[in-house]
Structure 1
Amino acid sequence: MRRTLLLLALLAFGAPPALAQQQQTPPGGRLGTGLPVPRYVSLKTDRVNLREGPSKDHRTAWVFQRAGLPVEIVAEYETWRRIRDSEGTEGWVLHSLLSGRRTALVMPWAKGEVPPIPLREAPSDRSGTVAQLQPGVIANIKSCDGAWCRVVIVMERARDVDGYIQQDKLWGVYPNEKVE
């Protein structure tokens, strides 16, 4: 009863940061790295099992098959990370299958016929276009200033393309986030 009242008070008046973090700790468990949650990372390999819970005893709900795919860590439990993909699918993966390398998807929410998205020479709509990108392309993030991101698109049979794209056209970086 006392714990319930404490939680209600915390919800009503806001919790001090340390106590708010403590309330997120899973029963009988501990938080993971202490890094900010949520945060974006990418898949390290081209085969990552998404599990229903934080252990190998839990059923595999999905298998990701795209190395470099950006995902958002929304919770941590020991060596497990609860992740969400660009479509909203959530589940648990082992931390060793994730990379801190920042990547983003170009407009994964775009459906149907969408004009190509310009990759610019400089962070300006008036700058020249170095490439035209389709929705769903993975971009390696080099930096973001809160409005524009400098990215590299890895090409399989051609040289990589380096340029700038408006930050709001990417999934894998938060609005106004600065990445260095």
Structure 2
Amino acid sequence: MSRRPPIFALLALLAGLSLPAQAIEYRTVESATVLYDAPSVKGAKLFVVRRGTPVEVVVSLDTWVKVRDAEGSLAWIEKKYLAARRTIIVKAERAAVQQKPEEAAPLVFEAERNVSLDYVEALPGGWIKVRHADGQEGFVRAGQVWGF
């Protein structure tokens, strides 16, 4: 009779567990600021990010957050520059924002690439309800935007 080493028993036990999925957290840059390569103002300055830009939170430390932008770049930002409100950014050349979450619905407006829109809610069927800075609201296809 052979005996399995304890590590195999542990691995077998862990294989049977299902860990909860972690939700992706998005935040919005509250005011234009510098992004760094390290969590310190002494780090190298990578670029300036504009107000209203959505970012994905990757790691959160005490006063710094490592974020990913719509292009996939990673950088550090001071936590004080992030707002809880959500925006999304248009990734298509032009995104059609419609009155209803339907392909045949009338057009409210079109948003060009890199325009930030306020995220209102995600809907079934691949639609996102959005609000433009001028107050117009409508629905955009999820595949045309990033940050939700």
After TM superposition, the score normalised by the length of structure 2 is 0.80
The 5-angstrom pairing of residues 54-73 of structure 1 reads 54-64=39-49, 66-73=50-57
Q: Once the two structures are superposed, what CA deviation does each residue of 1:41-64 show, in whole Å capped at 9, x if it has no partner?
A: 110102x11111112232222221
Between the aligned partners of 2:17 and 2:39, the Cα distance in structure 1 is 27
- Equivalenced residue count is 138
Q: Once the two structures are superposed, what CA deviation does each residue of 1:58-106 show, in whole Å capped at 9, x if it has no partner?
A: 2222221x21110111111222100011111111111111011110011
Mark the CA change 1:16 to 1:42 in structure 2 (over 3 Å): closer, same or farther.
Answer: same
Between the aligned partners of 2:128 and 2:23, the Cα distance in structure 1 is 22
Q: Once the two structures are superposed, what CA deviation does each residue of 1:4-53 show, in whole Å capped at 9, x if it has no partner?
A: x8xxx59x8488759xxxxxxxxxxxxxxxxx66411110102x111111
Q: Does 1:81 align with 2:59?
A: no
- State the match for 1:137 in structure 2: 115
Q: Once the two structures are superposed, what CA deviation does each residue of 1:130-150 show, in whole Å capped at 9, x if it has no partner?
A: 112212111101111242111
Q: Does 1:117 align with 2:95?
A: yes
Structure with more of its chain in strand, by fraction: 2
Aligned partner of residue 80 in structure 2, secondary structure: helix
Mark the CA change 1:58 to 1:13 in structure 2 (over 3 Å): closer, same or farther.
Answer: farther
- State the match for 1:151 in structure 2: 130
Between the aligned partners of 2:130 and 2:109, the Cα distance in structure 1 is 12
Aligned partner of residue 96 in structure 1, secondary structure: helix
Task: Name stretches of at least 5 consecutive residues in structure 2 with no aligned partner.
Answer: 1-6
Contact 1:37 1:73 in 2 (8 A): no
Q: Does 1:169 align with 2:144?
A: yes
* Structure of larger gyration radius: 2
Between the aligned partners of 1:94 and 1:67, the Cα distance in structure 2 is 14
Letter in 1 for 2:30: K
Letter in 2 for 1:121: Q
Between the aligned partners of 2:147 and 2:41, the Cα distance in structure 1 is 27
Mark the CA change 1:15 to 1:83 in structure 2 (over 3 Å): closer, same or farther.
Answer: farther
Calculate percent identity across the aligned residue pairs.
24
Structure 1 residue 117 displacement after superposition: 2.4
